[in-house]
Amino acid sequence: MIKFILKGIFRDRSRSLFPIIVVIGGVMLSVVLYSWMKGFEKDIVRANANFRSGHLIIMSKAYSGNSDQMPNDLAYIGCSDLIGDLNNEHPGIIWQPRIRFAGLIDVPDENGETMSQGPIVGLGADLISPSTIEPDVLNLNGAIVSGGLPLKAGEMLITDELAQRLNIKPGQTATIITTTMYGSLTTFNMVVCGTIRFGIAAMDRGLVIADIGDIRRGLDMNDAAGEIVGFFSNGSYLAERAESVAESFNMDNSGSGDDFAPVMYTLLEHSGLAATLKMYKSVSGVLISIFITAMSIVLWNAGLLGSIRRYGEFGIRLAIGESQGHLYRFLIAESTLIGLFGTIIGTAFGLLFSLYLQEVGINISSMLKNASIVISDVLRAQITPTSYIIGFVPGLAATLLGSSISGIGIYRRQTSQLTKEFEA
Amino acid sequence: MLLIRLAIRNLLGAGLRTWLNGIVLSFSFLAIITTQALLKGMYEQTSNAMIAAEIGGGQYWHPEYDPYDPLTLQDAHGKIPIKLEQEINTHQAAPILIIQGTIYPNGRIRPILIKGIDPEQEVLNIPGGTLAQDIENIPVLIGERTSKATGLGIGDYFILQWRDANGTFDAQDAVIVQVMKTSVQSIDVNQIWAPLDRLRKLADMEGEATIVVTHKDFKENQPAGDWIFRSQEYLLKDLREMVRSKSFGSVFIYMLLLFLAMLAIFDTQIFSIFRRKKEIGTLMALGLTRGRVIKLFTLEGSLQAAFGAVIGAVYGIPLLALFARKGWTLLESTDSYGFALGEKLYPVFTIGIIAGTAVLIFITTTIVSYLPTRKIAEMKPTDALRGRLM
Amino acid sequence: MRRLIISLTLIVSAFLLIAPGKPSGDYILRKVDENIGADSKTSDSKMIVAGGRVTRTIEFKSWIQGTSKSFTEYLAPAREKGTKMLKLDDQLWIYTPQTDRIIRISGHMLRQSVMGSDLSYEDLMDDAKYAEMYSAEVIREEVYSDRDCWVLKLTAKEEDIAYYSREIWVDKERFIPLKENRYAKSGKLLKYTEVQSVSKYGSRWYPDKMLFKDALKGGKGTEFVIYRINFNTDIPDYIFSKASLRK
């Protein structure tokens, strides 16, 4: 019977084409919407993860209690061993040491004496090792206003606003003044290799980003870091995995009672994002269910239309003696196949489009005319396992519902009236 | 007129199908409106909270004041220009004195801003009333975030150190008299609030201030003496940018919702034209021009949008009115700290949003309804009468 | 005649020392200033800073002229070696060999701690005479560290002085302060110094080992040791110039 139906679907385009196109379109929209909402959610997480908390963050216990003060005297010492162990225990998570500090930047005149000076917040991250993910994580390419990224030791990025205020350009050298992790005054020269802008006033005011190697030398923090941030290598925050990694790590490291023992926090714990995310999830949940309901109605309607379209055909088939039950089952089977085809093709198209939106995204920097670039100027979708199955709800279920309701009409047709109908 | 009557009759005659399309359109309609209203609500609520608690109608800054460079605070205080004194006396402005201080939670040095505010001021929505206490220790108000970061709660004593206008060290015990819950971070993080008069005395800065915040209805924007005026617009710039970038993401969702509705309309139109060939032929035979037949079918499609709007209004108006009144509860617990803000998000439905969305949907529906009808133009009435399409 | 003057002086001072009326606070303060102050000083000293994790020793050489000029060169640890600071009135310049730069440090920075110690740059460079800044009053007598002391209460004469009042324990015989408390305007104790040993340099006694402690902050405080000090030596003027920072 399936073979017969398939033949029908392929040969009679009026019977199949429109219903399938509608199902494909509807399923595709559902998949794209779902992935887009997930992408948006990921974006909220990403902005917090990339600049602050990572997906996981390790600090010394003492540091974590005062982390807003960037207390490098409490930083964790022994990062390479710790990261080595973590890499063995948790493959699939990329760990990056970071150092934050507050200080001054001092720009010299031609005699090497102070010409201008200003307060800064510094960030040391791995910018130059070949395998580093930090420039992408921090969206440095998107933030560049002039010059380029640091390619070698001794180079730093400063915000465009700072560069203008201090009257310094890429290629020039400035001195960073801050304190070492042991409290000594320290000064070191860095070459400005580029200027950046993130579009967030607090950052644009006085952020300096340099390779962590330089910052470690400058702050006397050999093998130390204020924070070690971990990112899942697929780029998405996996809440359950993060919780279990943090729990087992803290179990292993809690015994010592040492104030400088490392403590791990998940993104949600550290950033206080849980409430925001919860709210977003309920908003997106409502939107997705409205959308799926609406889509189901559309496909139900399409199923309805499909059956009415073939009013005449069913009449003839009833007239030549096909039983009503058989015809009804036939209709259901046919719409199941149409729904299945449509859903599979629609999901494939939807995933393809979502993949494009995930990898390439929509760049909104041009829409934010001469305003500032935001931390992430590219909006992206995110494909999750649910993206693969979400389309089946409207695609298959609704199509089936539509044809089973409209198919009831078959039972209302009376054989005695059939010939009359054709005369009309 | 005839066409409209005919179109309405046809639409109603289609029964369930029309209802389904109407419901889908109403969903899209309401979802787009609500999303926009939530975004608008978010912006208005946050900016209103900032205006109420921090910005007022704009701020006058001492020429040395730079909120991003705490080191400059040492010099960023001075006598208030006379023009502003008058505003302050009539409660149209409130002076705030900001000096740098140090506290020692757990034996660690922690720099903190000390902000002096008049407990009687009526310009900002800061619960400073509790600061009007004549007690030996300095009464201090802090925000919840600072409370959490420092571990200080109501009734806790701590040593507060600062340097007066001459650079002389001073320190006193202070006591937390209130912890306020506020959605406005910039009146909370890393700062404490003390009574203005007392702070002026302690810092040896009689009659001085760092900034003067004007009442939110303040209209003027001229500098006062060498004090710089920072307008509401200037102070809200960051927030505006943030909401703007967020709204781009939602535009994509509107588009998907519109696509969805249009899919329904398009399918219905294709079906109508396919199914009603004989009718089209009959109408043409009766003397209706092709143009008028196209108009009729397009009108039927666009009326779907109007029908969707009516359905949407029937259940949407009470639903959204309730939503706008009850708001969206963001946090589970509401507590009794001074003032509560930001626990609920209230969507803001404006005529602009509703009318704009309606026009958008109506136009799109009309275009989508028209597209399939072009087939009619290619029909011969004779073929159509026989139920043959092309 | 000369003998008479000497004996008179002796009598007068003996009277001042042991007579029922105590010497005035201001008098004692002047004596202290005479003893520990000098037109110029050169010294080698070290600071031992007990941090949370490690204890660091910082060694430096200083040249001080009057109350407004000072020059410091750091000798150890290796990271700090070669760092030089020049203070002229309230301006401070720092030279570090790492940067080969002369950096002007603004007034705001002077209030920060020196090398993580319990001393600020202001504290370290504050070499003004007590008597110029404070008026004194003897509030009691006390044995401190096995020495008879006067306890003086100092109150600021002028407004722009970092510590509004101090209490110092002055050795009755040697006229050196053995303990000092520094107070806020409110009377709250902010910092204290305890002299742990004193030595005689020529005719004068001078504290050569002391502990500085920020009373509000946790930690063990900063130990300050002088191993060599010369008074009233001729310091060439070029020392107190920016050119000598780079030398």
What are the structural domain ranges in chain C?
22-246
Minimum mean pLDDT range among A116-130, A342-356, A367-381: A367-381
Q: In the prediction, which pLDDT does B333 show?
A: 34
Say yes or no: A180 contacts chain C, CB-CB below 8 A.
yes
Distance to chain A for C238, nearest Cα, Å:
18
**Residue that wins the pLDDT comparison between C169 and B189:** C169
Neighbours of B314 (CB within 10 A): 11
What would the mean pLDDT of B315-333 be, rounded to a whole number?
76
Can you name the residues that pair with B160 across neighbouring β-strands? B103, B172
Q: In the prediction, which pLDDT does C19 show?
A: 46
Residues B184 and B44 in one domain: no
Q: Is B135 exposed, middle or buried (0-12, 13-18, 19+ CB in 10 A)?
A: exposed
Rounded to the nearest angstrom, the gap between the alpha carbon of residue C235 and the centroid of all alpha carbons in its chain is 19
Q: In the prediction, which pLDDT does A268 show?
A: 82
pLDDT band at residue C6 under the 50/70/90 scheme: low
| Mutation target vs B (from A205, A259, A298; most B CBs, 10 A cutoff) | A298
| Chain-chain contact of B171 with C111 (C-beta, under 8 angstroms) | no
CB contacts, 8 Å: B168 with chain C: 156, 159-164, 185
| Average pLDDT of chain C to the nearest whole number | 84
Say yes or no: A394 contacts chain B, CB-CB below 8 A.
no
Contacting A residues, span 271-310, partner chain C, CB-CB under 8 Å: none
Say yes or no: C218 contacts chain A, CB-CB below 8 A.
no
| Average pLDDT of chain A to the nearest whole number | 83
| C83-94 b/e (C-beta count within 10 Å ≥ 16 → b) | bbbbbeeeebbb
If you search the block for the tokens 């902000």, which residue do you land on? B115
**Residue B171: in which H helix or E strand, if any?**
strand B169-180
CB contacts, 8 Å: A106 with chain C: 101, 103
∠ CA A346-A348-A353, rounded to 5°: 95
What would the mean pLDDT of C177-191 be, rounded to a whole number?
92
Q: In the prediction, which pLDDT does C216 show?
A: 86
| Mutation target vs B (from C104, C105, C106, C108; most B CBs, 10 A cutoff) | C108
**Residue of A111, A179, A188 lying closest to C116 (CB–CB):** A179
What would the mean pLDDT of A194-212 be, rounded to a whole number?
86
Distance to chain A for B260, nearest Cα, Å:
7
Query: How many contacts, defined by CB atoms under 8 Å, are there between B and C?
Result: 62
**Residue that wins the pLDDT comparison between B1 and C53:** C53
- ipTM, interface predicted TM-score of the complex: 0.82
Residues B324 and B283 in one domain: yes
Which residue in chain A is spatially nearest to B389 when comparing CA positions? A14
What would the mean pLDDT of A265-291 be, rounded to a whole number?
78
Q: In the prediction, which pLDDT does C119 show?
A: 77
Q: In the prediction, which pLDDT does B335 show?
A: 32
pLDDT band at residue A29 under the 50/70/90 scheme: confident
Say yes or no: C104 contacts chain A, CB-CB below 8 A.
yes
Which residue in chain C is spatially nearest to A175 when comparing CA positions? C99
| Chain-chain contact of A283 with B38 (C-beta, under 8 angstroms) | yes
- Residue among A124, A117, A100, A110 nearest A175 (CA): A117
Does pLDDT of A133 surpass 80?
yes
Contacting A residues, span 245-274, partner chain B, CB-CB under 8 Å: none
Q: In the prediction, which pLDDT does B343 show?
A: 64
- Domain boundary residue, one of B230, B260, B283: B230
Q: In the prediction, which pLDDT does B252 show?
A: 81
Contacting A residues, span 22-61, partner chain C, CB-CB under 8 Å: none
- Residue among B285, B100, B319, B306 nearest B210 (CA): B100
Does pLDDT of B341 surpass 50?
no
Q: In the prediction, which pLDDT does A400 show?
A: 80
| Chain-chain contact of B35 with A287 (C-beta, under 8 angstroms) | yes
**Residue of C51, C83, C104 lying closest to A73 (CB–CB):** C51
A59 phi and psi, to 5 degrees?
-140, 165
Residues B249 and B226 in one domain: no
Q: Are C143 and C15 spatial neighbours (Cβ–Cβ below 8 Å)?
A: no
pLDDT band at residue C155 under the 50/70/90 scheme: very high
Residues B151 and B272 in one domain: no
pLDDT tens for each residue of C185-225: 888 999 999 999 999 888 888 899 999 998 888 788 889 99
If you search the block for the tokens 């800054």, which residue do you land on? B61
**Residue of A37, A294, A374 lying closest to B28 (CB–CB):** A294
Q: Are C109 and C117 spatial neighbours (Cβ–Cβ below 8 Å)?
A: no
Distance to chain B for A187, nearest Cα, Å:
19
Say yes or no: A31 contacts chain B, CB-CB below 8 A.
no
What is the rounded CA–CA span in Å between residue A226 and residue A204? 22
pLDDT band at residue A416 under the 50/70/90 scheme: low
Contacting A residues, span 119-148, partner chain C, CB-CB under 8 Å: none
What would the mean pLDDT of B208-232 be, rounded to a whole number?
86
State which of A237-241, B124-128, B211-215, B268-272 shows the largest mean pLDDT.
Answer: B211-215
Minimum mean pLDDT range among A111-125, A245-259, B90-104, B204-218: A245-259
Say yes or no: C164 contacts chain B, CB-CB below 8 A.
yes
- Domain boundary residue, one of B230, B248, B278: B230
- Domain boundary residue, one of B207, B230, B253: B230
Q: What is the DSSP string of A297-335?
A: HHHHHHHHHHHHHTHHHHHHHHHTT--HHHHHHHHHHHH
Which residue in chain B is spatially nearest to C109 when comparing CA positions? B71
Neighbours of B263 (CB within 10 A): 24
**Residue B192: in which H helix or E strand, if any?**
strand B191-195
What would the mean pLDDT of C11-33 be, rounded to a whole number?
70
pLDDT band at residue A424 under the 50/70/90 scheme: very low
CB contacts, 8 Å: A172 with chain C: none
pLDDT tens for each residue of B350-376: 888 888 888 888 888 888 888 887 777
Q: In the prediction, which pLDDT does A373 show?
A: 40
Taking the domain C22-246, which CATH number applies? 2.50.20.10
For residue B10, being part of any structural domain is answered with yes
Distance to chain B for A97, nearest Cα, Å:
24
pLDDT band at residue A372 under the 50/70/90 scheme: very low
Which residue in chain A is spatially nearest to C113 when comparing CA positions? A183
Residues B94 and B219 in one domain: yes
pTM of the model: 0.78
Minimum mean pLDDT range among A121-130, A176-185, A268-277, A391-400: A268-277
Q: In the prediction, which pLDDT does A188 show?
A: 94
| Domain count for chain B | 2
Residues B70 and B93 in one domain: yes
Q: Are C162 and C153 spatial neighbours (Cβ–Cβ below 8 Å)?
A: no
Distance to chain C for A281, nearest Cα, Å:
44
pLDDT tens for each residue of B286-313: 877 778 888 888 888 888 888 888 888 8
Question: What residue numbers bound the domain in which B135 lies?
Answer: 58-230
- Sign of the C-alpha dihedral computed for residues C17, C23, C29 and C34 taken in this order: negative
Neighbours of C187 (CB within 10 A): 11
pLDDT band at residue B319 under the 50/70/90 scheme: confident
CB contacts, 8 Å: B72 with chain C: 108
State which of A359-373, B97-111, B257-271 shows the largest mean pLDDT.
Answer: B97-111
Say yes or no: C89 contacts chain B, CB-CB below 8 A.
no
Residues B377 and B294 in one domain: yes
Q: Are A105 and A291 spatial neighbours (Cβ–Cβ below 8 Å)?
A: no
The two tokens of residue A369 are: 């005319």
pLDDT band at residue B210 under the 50/70/90 scheme: very high
**Residue B148: in which H helix or E strand, if any?**
helix B144-150
For residue B390, being part of any structural domain is answered with no
What would the mean pLDDT of B134-158 be, rounded to a whole number?
89
